[in-house]
Amino acid sequence: MNKTRGYRNYLTCLAAFCGLIPSEAFGPRPTPTRFQSSSIRGMSSLSSDAASDSTGDIYVMVNGMPGPMATAAAEACLRKNLKLAPTAMTGPDVPASTITVTDLVSGKSTDVRLVPANDKDELIASLEGMRTAVGAENLLAIDYTHPSAVNDNARFYVSQSLPFVMGTTGGDRDALLHDVHGHFCVIAPNMGKQIVAMQAALEDLANKYPAAFKGYKLSVVESHQKTKADTSGTAKAVIASIKKLAADEEFSIETDIEMIRDELAAMEFGVPEQGLNGHAFHTYTLTSPDGSVQFQLQHNVVGRTVYAEGTADGIKFLAKKMQTEKPQVYSMINVLEEGALE
C-alpha cells in the first residue's frame, strides 16, 4: 500500500469515529452481512450498572470474525457496554467485507469492516486512525483467529503496542509467552468463569497434594465442533495438574488425548445435536492400578456464551490494570482472583 492510501485510511478511520462520515467510507462495502454466533443467548443478561460503566469508552478490535467464536465475543462486548472498533482483522484468505454484529440480548449492533491479516499496511493505518480518535488507552483487541496465526498475531500486537486478550489456542506457547513479555495482555486457553475456577482449584490441589493418586492411570477424551483445528488447550492445562496428582509420567499430552471431531462420534459421547456446531465436552478418568477404583472429572459446555462473556470481562480487567500497573501478561485466573468475572 502506498503512503497516499495509508494516509487516506487513517483519515477515514478518524472521521468515522468522530461521526463526520459513515463507516462506509472505509472502502468498498457490500450489503452488510447479518452474522450471529451459535451462542446460547438465554444464559446471558445485561449488566444493571451498564449505563454508569466507565468501560463504555473502550473500543475493542475483535479479530477473527466472521468466525463464530470471535463473533460471539463481539456480541458479548456489546452486551457488556463495550464498543466495537469499526475495523478488525480477519483471516488472510477471507475477502475484505463489512459485517453487522448484532447482540440479541441488548439489541445493540455495529458494522465492522474486516481486513485480511496479510494487509498489514491497511491494518496499521486503521489502528493509527482509531487511536487518534479515541485515545491509545481506550483501544484493545480480542484474538479468536486460528492456531497457525497465534504467534504472528501476538508479535503484531506487540509491535503496534496494542493490548489484547487472546483465547486462541495452539501455536508455540513458549515462544508466545516470550514474545509478549512486558506487554499488556490476557492469555488463557479457556475464558469460562466456572472452568477457570475448576482449573485453579486443580492446580492448588496438585501443588498441595502431589502424587496423591500415584499409580493411577489417566485417560482423556475431548470433543469439539469439527471446525476446531487443534487439541483443546483447556484439556492440556487440566491434564498438567492431574499429572502432578497421579505422578503419571507416561501420559503424553501430544499423543494420548482422544480427540473427537466427528459429529456421529460426538453424539455418541453425549453431545446434543443442537450443540454439534459449538461445544466442548471433556472427560478425564483416573483408574487405580488394579482397576477397582475410578475417579472422573467432566466439564461439558454447549454453545460459546460462557467463553465470550469471560473474554469481554478480560478486556474490562485489562483496561483497568492499564491505569495502575506496569505492562505484564495476565491469565484468566488473575481475572478470577480480581473478582472481575461477572
- Which are the catalytic amino acids? 224, 228
Q: 89 - beta bridge partners?
A: 115
The rounded distance, in Å, linking the Cα atoms of 38 and 278 is 7
SS (H, E, C) the chain: CCHHHHHHHHHHHHHHHHCCCCHHHHCCCCCCEEECCCCCHHHCCCCCCHHHCHHHHCEEEEECCCCHHHHHHHHHHHHCCCEECCEEEECCCCCCEEEEEECCCCCCEEEEEEEECCCHHHHHHHHHHHHHHHCHHHEEEEECCCHHHHHHHHHHHHHCCCCEEECCCCCCHHHHHHHCCCCCEEECCCCCHHHHHHHHHHHHHHHHCCCCCCCCEEEEEEEECCCCCCCCHHHHHHHHHHHHHHCCCCCCCCCCEEEECCHHHHHHCCCCHHHCCCEEEEEEEEECCCCCCEEEEEEEEECCHHHHHHHHHHHHHHHHHHHHCCCCEECHHHHHHCCCCC
Spell 12-36 as b/e; 16+ CB within 10 A means b. Answer: bbbbbbeeeeebebbbeeeebeebe
Can you tell me the distance from the alpha carbon of 101 to that of 120, in angstroms, rounded to the nearest whole number? 23
For residue 69 the three cell numbers come to 467464536
Strands 33-35, 109-116: pairing kind: unpaired
